[in-house]
Amino acid sequence: MTKQNLQPTCDANFSSTQPMGSAQDEIDLRELFSVIWQGKWLIIAITFIFAVGSVLFAISQPNIYKSEALLAPADSEQSGGGLAALAGQFGGLASMAGINLGGGGGVDKTQMAIEVMKSRQFASSFIKNHNILADLMAAKKWNMADNTISYDDDLYNAAESKWVREVKPPYKPEPSMQEAFKKFSKIIAVNAAKDTGMVTVSVEHLSPDVAQQWVNWLVADINKEMKQRDVAEAKRSTDFLQTQIQQTNIADIRSILYKLIEEQAKTIMFAEVRDEYVFKTIDPALVPEEKAKPKRALICVLGTMLGGMLAVMFVLIRYFIRKEN
């Protein structure tokens, strides 16, 4: 009898507390909306300030133009290919004479060229050879009327071609190559498509003409750089092979070495007669007519939304602080 009497009592208590919790939640939600409604003018004012600020910020940002070129890896028999093939075929015979012809693994010239373009050494040489440090570090505005660049007077005196920026040691008025590389790596992009193998080189700058010119220079310089590296390597290999020929009297080994020298001569000849050594230009860079950024409308929308959210949070936090006090 006792158990039967207790069960209805517990059920009644449970059913009576459940609506109270729901009612309490509903009251808190109404209170929340009530607080927001009471502070609506403050929310509107803060949102308006953020909206005006985002518009002014968007207008103050200069146009950035982007030029890009589409490249294809040049189909060529690299020096490593012929050498690796002969090494795989005659490696055992050569090792008997104490000559190491190297492994059979080839080198991905395209990937190597991409990494070279992203390197500090290549960027520093590119900046120095083309004398673009001022356009990179001190450009402030592009004048469409006469297609000229205005520089920041606090950084660079264009009339005297002199850096005048004020910095603390160890920095100097003229930016170092480390500083220039940080800026350079932000405005250039080199990407390879995994499905097609095509490579895209792009540059962003205040001046559309400068952006296009730099892309053309990058493509020409990386082809020249990789050509010089392969030619230098082929010449060193030729010198080494000629030394090995003088040190062995085995006819078969000497025949292999002469074939290897022939492969190095082919590499040098191929490099000398071809300008597009690593990359062939499929779609050359053009002078862009439309800006790439900033997206001013998006900046204004995001700025306004941020202001509205911060205003609501401020009103709610202020209410709950006052409530606790």
Span 118-137, pLDDT tens digits: 999 999 999 999 999 999 99
Place of tokens 């209170």: 31
pLDDT-derived band of residue 52, with 50, 70 and 90 as boundaries? very high
pLDDT of residue 273: 80
- In this predicted structure, the answer to whether residue 92 has a pLDDT above a threshold of 60 is no
Give per-residue pLDDT as tens, 292-314.
999 999 999 999 999 999 999 99
pLDDT of residue 96: 46
For range 106-110, the mean pLDDT: 71
pLDDT-derived band of residue 46, with 50, 70 and 90 as boundaries? very high
pLDDT of residue 207: 94
Give per-residue pLDDT as tens, 62-89.
999 999 999 999 864 444 444 555 555 5
Decide which of 226 and 270 is more confident: 226
- In this predicted structure, the answer to whether residue 4 has a pLDDT above a threshold of 80 is no
Per the CB < 8 A criterion, the answer to whether 283 and 296 are in contact is no
pLDDT of residue 233: 87
208-247 helix and 79-96 helix, angle to the nearest 10 degrees: 20
Question: Tokens for 321?
Answer: 């602080």
- In this predicted structure, the answer to whether residue 117 has a pLDDT above a threshold of 90 is yes
Decide which of 135 and 256 is more confident: 135
Query: Nearest CA to 137 among 118, 159, 156?
Result: 156
Mean pLDDT is lowest, of 84-88, 142-146, 170-174, for 84-88
pLDDT of residue 28: 74
- Find which of 35-49, 97-111, 234-248 is predicted with most confidence, using mean pLDDT: 35-49
pLDDT-derived band of residue 163, with 50, 70 and 90 as boundaries? very high
pLDDT of residue 33: 86
In angstroms, rounded to a whole number, what is the distance separating the alpha carbons of residues 97 and 17? 95
Mean pLDDT of the chain: 83
Kindly report the pTM of this predicted structure.
Answer: 0.75
168-177's contacts with Cβ under 8 Å and 24+ in sequence apart are 174/133, 175/133, 175/137, 177/120, 177/123, 177/124, 177/127, 177/128
pLDDT-derived band of residue 27, with 50, 70 and 90 as boundaries? very low
- In this predicted structure, the answer to whether residue 17 has a pLDDT above a threshold of 80 is no
User: Which residues 6+ apart lie within 8 Å of 39 measured at CB?
Assistant: 315, 318, 319
Residues of the chain above pLDDT 90, percent:
50
For range 17-28, the mean pLDDT: 50
In angstroms, rounded to a whole number, what is the distance separating the alpha carbons of residues 174 and 160? 13
Pairing assessment for the beta strands 65-73 and 279-283 based on DSSP bridges: antiparallel
- In this predicted structure, the answer to whether residue 155 has a pLDDT above a threshold of 60 is yes
pLDDT of residue 16: 47
CA angle 294, 300, 302 (to 5 degrees): 100
pLDDT of residue 242: 86
Query: In sequence order, what DSSP letters do the residues of 88-136 get, joined into one string?
Result: HHHHHHHHHTT-----S----HHHHHHHHHTSHHHHHHHHHHHT-HHHH
pLDDT of residue 197: 87
pLDDT of residue 75: 67
pLDDT of residue 74: 83
- In this predicted structure, the answer to whether residue 105 has a pLDDT above a threshold of 70 is no
